[in-house]
């Protein structure tokens, strides 16, 4: 089957810095892949290359078999959630979620329907008329998730979406994301994190990045029980 996401030899340089060494990686439709690694290992750069926010120095990115390397971000149809929610502060919750739909020129009634649907999906139906500043961090992150899901993306990219939350909220959001996965079985997710527990809880497979390089890739169970390197073992706190 055609992978939902494919990196083919994708590398990224920023001046003299190699932020991403040639990356070859396929993600199946409906799969959740965690990209795990310490700060500065190239996780965000990999996501940005896929989303179109940075240009690869070499290689191609494909979505559903289509080469999208030369497409601008808004033509790739991805949902993106970043660490710092980045909601528009002057727009109410419903306005934030509607933003991408309006930009796509959807009729008003359909926008309203989809906004209500997707806020319900993340448990924020009662908060549509609030401003972001009137919400807790966890609630803001749910709205950011709703905004990303509004366009029904085939692929959802999550860049450390929980790292700004305290431990209790993080637990809650992990449960939320698991529920979401069950409700959206066709949605492919790439979840970037430096938190091994988060990766193990959420992912089907984990890719480990170190110094811009993918050093290991496999099902959670395998990485945890039989890490191929000491680095992975120490990072995952697994058997070795
Ligand atoms: P991670 O998300 O794993 O913390 P990043 O992908 O953000 O890592 O960064 C990988 C490397 O690329 C780091 O050394 C970082 O300093 C560098 N880098 C990232 N973005 C830029 C940029 N816009 N300009 C210069 N260097 C960058
Ligand atoms: Mg990052």
Say how many Å lie between the CA of residue 126 and the centre of ligand 2: 32
pLDDT at 238: 52
pTM of the model: 0.93
Query: What is the per-residue pLDDT across 139-195, written as a single tens digit (0 to 9) for each?
Result: 998 999 999 999 999 999 999 988 888 888 888 889 989 999 999 999 999 999 999
Question: ipTM value of the model?
Answer: 0.98
Q: Are 96 and 87 in contact (CB under 8 A)?
A: yes
Average pLDDT of 34-39? 96
- Taking CA 61 as the corner, what is the angle to CA 1 and CA 97, rounded to the nearest 5 degrees? 90
Check pocket membership of 40 for ligand 1, CB cut-off 6 A. yes
Identify the burial level of 27 via C-beta atoms within 10 angstroms of its C-beta, where 0-12 means exposed, 13-18 middle and 19 or more buried: buried
Q: What is the pLDDT of residues 194-214, one digit of tens each?
A: 999 999 999 999 999 999 999
Which position has the token pair 């992912």?
A: 203
- Mean of the pLDDT values across residues 9-13? 98
Question: 3: how many CB neighbours lie within 10 A of its CB?
Answer: 17
pLDDT higher than 70, residue 240: no
Residue of the nearest CA to atom 22 in ligand 1? 14
Q: Which residues pair with 6 in a beta bridge?
A: 26, 62
Asked if pLDDT for residue 137 goes beyond 90, the answer is no
Angstrom CA distances, 104 to 52, 117, 182, 187, stand at 18, 18, 27, 20
CA of 212, closest atom in ligand 1: 10
Percent of the chain with pLDDT over 90: 76
Output DSSP code: residue 184: -
């Amino acid at each position: 089957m055609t992978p939902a996401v494919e990196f083919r030899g994708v590398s990224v340089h920023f001046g003299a810095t190699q932020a991403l060494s040639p990356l070859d990686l396929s993600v199946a439709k409906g799969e959740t892949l965690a990209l795990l690694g310490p700060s500065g290992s190239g996780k965000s750069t990999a996501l940005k290359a896929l989303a179109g926010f940075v240009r690869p120095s070499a290689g191609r990115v494909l979505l559903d078999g289509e080469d999208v390397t030369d497409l601008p971000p808004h033509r790739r149809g991805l949902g993106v959630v970043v660490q710092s929610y980045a909601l528009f502060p002057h727009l109410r919750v419903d306005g934030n979620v509607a933003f991408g739909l309006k930009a796509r020129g959807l009729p008003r009634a359909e926008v309203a329907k989809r906004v209500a649907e997707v806020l319900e999906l993340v448990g924020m139906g009662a908060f549509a008329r609030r401003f972001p500043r009137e919400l807790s961090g966890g609630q803001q992150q749910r709205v950011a998730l709703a905004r990303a899901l509004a366009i029904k993306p085939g692929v959802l990219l999550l860049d450390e979406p929980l790292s700004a939350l305290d431990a209790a909220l993080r637990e809650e959001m992990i449960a939320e994301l698991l529920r979401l996965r069950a409700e959206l079985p066709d949605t492919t997710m790439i979840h970037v994190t430096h938190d091994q527990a988060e990766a193990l809880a959420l992912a089907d497979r984990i890719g480990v990045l170190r110094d811009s390089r993918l050093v290991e890739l496999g099902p959670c169970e395998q990485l945890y029980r039989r890490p191929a390197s000491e680095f992975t073992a120490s990072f995952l706190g697994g058997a070795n």
